[in-house]
Amino acid sequence: MEGKIINFGDVKRDKDGFFKIVPVPFEKTTSYKRGTEKGPQKILEASTFMELFDEEFKFEPYREGVFTYIPMSFDGLNIEEGIEKIYSRSLEIIDGKTFPIFLGGEHSITFPIVKAFSEKFANDFTVIQFDAHSDLRYSYEDTIYSHASVMRRVVDITNCIQCGIRSLCVEEYESLDNLNTDVFFIKDFFEDKKGYLNRILNEIGDNVYITIDVDVLDPSCMPATGTPEPGGVSYLDLLNLLENIFKERNVIGCDIVEFMPIENLHYCEFTISKLIYKIMAYKIRYKKTYRV
């Protein structure tokens, strides 16, 4: 484990807090470059410099209570053992009353987390993925638990909507008709942003889990990721989609993955830290006005 334990936002660590921040610095299958294991610590460090007042909603989201877990350790574990550890830890954390936010690490962590949610929520939820890549390969580099095949595992558990997609291989494209998922390509977003949101809302159930691969953002605002793809959404585009999803549905938890810090490019960790705080603000702002 690296560094000292920081509570997100540098507020009092509240074990009964509504928000559970779970650092999962798992990195065993990244393809091009390494460094996502340092993501959670950098995000937590940046969060200590954030203003805690949300100027848009005029409240302080942290007042619902924040508890950041000690980062999980994967030393000496192989891929399968790491996945199993994330699954059993998630089962302990998910209680249906608090709101967990998992910080990757690589995208592989989403499968064991969703598997744990499926036990608690009896598969009665949709997974919305924000990502440049569809991650639907059956396996990649000799493992079915690769970050590049994570959604292929997830679509076997529950139905999915994939947003922001602009990179996939022919095998993935040809499999789309047979899989429990809908891919919404990025081009459709830039042609009609409102229509894109409505398509998402039309296809999702009452309960939603959100997985955000930071490479859904355009590399101009988020270069700090292992496999960046040009032509992504802006920070404000992403916030707008998220806000409307929180407004219209019951979001049960989320993860933010594939952040790979770049030395001396600290705006990236500040961007993600603020993104997480806005998610907390949306959850509080809308949870009392909409309930399934």
> Which residues partner with 19 through β-bridges?
66, 99
Q: How many residues bind Mn ion (CB under 5 A)?
A: 5
> For Mn ion, which is the closer residue by CB, 40 or 61?
40
The sign of the torsion formed by the CA atoms of 106, 131, 116, 98 equals positive
Which residue stretches of 103-234 are H helix? 110-120, 150-154, 170-175, 186-191, 193-203
Residue 20 binds Mn ion, judged by CB under 5 A: no
The sign of the torsion formed by the CA atoms of 223, 224, 229, 235 equals negative
Orientation of helix 110-120 relative to helix 79-93, angle to 10° = 40
Pick the binder of Mn ion from 28, 42, 133, 166 (CB under 5 A): 133
Q: Are strands 126-130 and 160-165 parallel, antiparallel or unpaired?
A: parallel
Pick the binder of Mn ion from 106, 215, 218, 255 (CB under 5 A): 215
Q: How far is the CB of 133 from Mn ion (least distance, A)?
A: 4
Judged by CB under 5 A, the stretch of 28-36, 49-57, 126-134, 269-277 that binds Mn ion is: 126-134
Q: How far is the CB of 286 from Mn ion (least distance, A)?
A: 27
Judged by CB under 5 A, the stretch of 50-58, 73-81, 182-190, 207-215 that binds Mn ion is: 207-215
Q: How many residues does the chain have?
A: 292
Q: How far is the CB of 92 from Mn ion (least distance, A)?
A: 28
Q: How far is the CB of 229 from Mn ion (least distance, A)?
A: 7
Contacting residues toward Mn ion, per CB under 5 A: 131-133, 213, 215
